[in-house]
Amino acid sequence: MTQAAQAVLAIHGGAGAIARAEASDEVRAAYETALAGILTNAGRILEQGGSALDAVTEAVRLLEECPLFNAGHGAVLTSAATHELDAAIMDGRNLKSGAVAGLKTVRNPVLAARAVMEHSQHVMFVAEGAEAFAQAQGLERVAPDFFSTPLRREQLERVQRAESGQTALDHDTGSNGASGGVPLSLPADRQKDAPLDEDRKLGTVGAVALDAHGNLAAATSTGGMTNKQPGRVGDSPIIGAGCYANNRTCAVSTTGTGEMFIRMVVAHDISARMEYAGASLEEAAHTVVHEKLPQIDGRGGLVAIDAQGNVAMPFNTEGMYRGFIRAGQAPVVAIYA
Ligand code: ASP
């Protein structure tokens, strides 16, 4: 195997409850096409000998630009009908990392996270300070409603109606953070007792890569959870929870119920199991997603790559938008288990 042949990129576009029966072939194909296109485009960077860092940055930037996924354009709304975007990036060569939380006008939060990593003494900026930093770095800013889509507005209204007890979440074509537009359904008996089913609120994007030079990197970006309280920050921009990369072990990007992913320090736990306990990537990722997270009702999944180019994409929900591409090969994408 040549060095370049080991280069690999994996991405996710969120995990959640996905009703197989309800998703039309057309909708499913739209997601699969988007995932494959993003893998192909960002994968070219690896094929041409570029860095894992550049590949994950570009993959997440493209996912942010795609309105189907909950990050950047197409991000979910807070309870105040605003957007607060979070992102993180980490370089496995040297553990350098950058993160931003609560961005409102920066078009591509992943670029802001990368700028924090490369052009500041710090790891994380939040809210106004993060905006000011991005502005000073010359990053593109947009009007806050750039991130909104009609589907996200409807979704917020539905969730708020359900939370105020006016209606149950209906058995409809509801889009949410999990599905980002894939029709969902809940059985009638769950509708009444689950006015706000956690399964219906997931979604985030992320990428992990190993380049031909043997370097790992990870990046994660999210709008958070629909109807989140302003100021709430989930796992996505927390280094070690939603994002981690270390050349000695692996690169990880997560999606799921952020509070539980923070409490389980998910991304770093996978790395630690490999480093200290000698677990394989597959074992470590499986244990965390299928044994540890369920102990505190943590739902979601992750994509991970180890230093040998093995890929793990476990999730404990019904589905996760995901895929990977090895340099010189065709992308592989999947949604359901
Ligand atoms: N983990 C994200 C958050 O808590 C949301 C998600 O991935 O569904 O903000």
| Ligand 1 atom with least separation from CA of 258 | 4
Q: Which residues lie below 8 Å from residue 187, measured CB to CB, with a gap of 6+?
A: none
CB 43, CB 330: distance < 8 Å? no
Coil/strand/helix, residue 182: coil
Residue in the block written with tokens 């058995």: 171
Query: Residue 2: phi, psi to the nearest 5?
Result: -75, 165
The pTM assigned to this predicted structure is 0.90
Give residue 174's domain range. 3-336
What is the rounded average pLDDT of the residues 281-287? 98
Averaged pLDDT of the chain: 88
Note the pLDDT tens digit of each residue in 233-278: 999 999 999 999 999 999 999 999 999 999 999 999 999 999 999 9
Distance (Å) from CA 3 to ligand 1 centroid: 34
Is 204 among the residues known to form the active site? yes
CB 312, CB 304: distance < 8 Å? yes
Q: Which two tokens stand for residue 212?
A: 């031909």
179, pLDDT greater than 70? no
Query: Which residues, judged by CB distance below 6 Å to any ligand atom, belong to the binding site of ligand 1?
Result: 14, 177, 202-204, 222, 224-225, 234-236, 255-256, 258, 261, 300
CB 234, CB 266: distance < 8 Å? no
Residue in the block written with tokens 């074509």: 173
Measured CA to CA, the distance from residue 41 to residue 75 in angstroms comes to 22
For the chain, the domain total comes to 1
Distance (Å) from CA 2 to ligand 1 centroid: 37
Question: Rounded to whole angstroms, what are the CA distances from 253 to 164, 227, 236, 310, 315?
Answer: 33, 23, 8, 15, 12
Report pLDDT for 166: 67
Cα 162 versus chain centre, distance: 26
Kindly name the residue from 149, 204, 220, 255 that is annotated as catalytic.
Answer: 204
Distance (Å) from CA 329 to ligand 1 centroid: 30
CB 141, CB 107: distance < 8 Å? yes
Note the pLDDT tens digit of each residue in 181-236: 322 333 333 322 222 233 455 679 999 999 999 999 999 999 999 999 999 999 99
Q: Which residues lie below 8 Å from residue 278, measured CB to CB, with a gap of 6+?
A: none
Measured CA to CA, the distance from residue 317 to residue 42 in angstroms comes to 27
Report the CATH number at residue 299.
3.60.20.30
DSSP state of 41: H
Atom 9 of ligand 1: nearest residue by CA position: 224
DSSP string, 56-125: HHHHHHHHHH-TTSSSSTT---BTTS---EEEEEEETTTTEEEEEEEESSBS-HHHHHHHHHHHSS-SEE
